[in-house]
Amino acid sequence: MKPIELTKADFIQKVGNFEADPKDWKYIEDKPCIVDFQAPWCGYCKRLDPILEEFAQTYEGQLYIYKVNVDNEEELETAFNIRTIPTLLLCKMDGTKELMLGTLPKHELKKVIDNLISVQ
């Protein structure tokens, strides 16, 4: 399984309606997720892609991994104040959300994911 590409409409349906309440929107899925804000021309994003693809398979059924192309989805880029790519939005099941800027080594990202799926 690969990360799922999201448009703004998909984001609202699958992740949460950030337009209705920009400061306190609720994550709506049944498993935690990572949203990768990226662009196809970004070198760091290209390095992160195969790692996220691997984790999408490894953690299938435990979390969702989404991708947002900031070149095509400027409203999402603006709404989440994305200034650096890649930026990862982590949505936990306890309702907390966190933005992580830049890339992490694979083993560090695995720790982040393990923590993400352990939060109820």
Whether residue 42 lies in the annotated active site:
yes
3-state secondary structure of 86: coil
Alpha-carbon gap, residue 98 to 82, rounded angstroms: 13
Whether residue 91 lies in the annotated active site:
no
Catalytic, out of 15, 33, 35, 45: 45
Alpha-carbon gap, residue 14 to 67, rounded angstroms: 12
Catalytic, out of 4, 12, 39, 42: 42
Distances (CA, A) of 71 to 1, 14, 32, 35, 55: 24, 20, 25, 15, 24
- The residues assigned a catalytic role are 42, 45
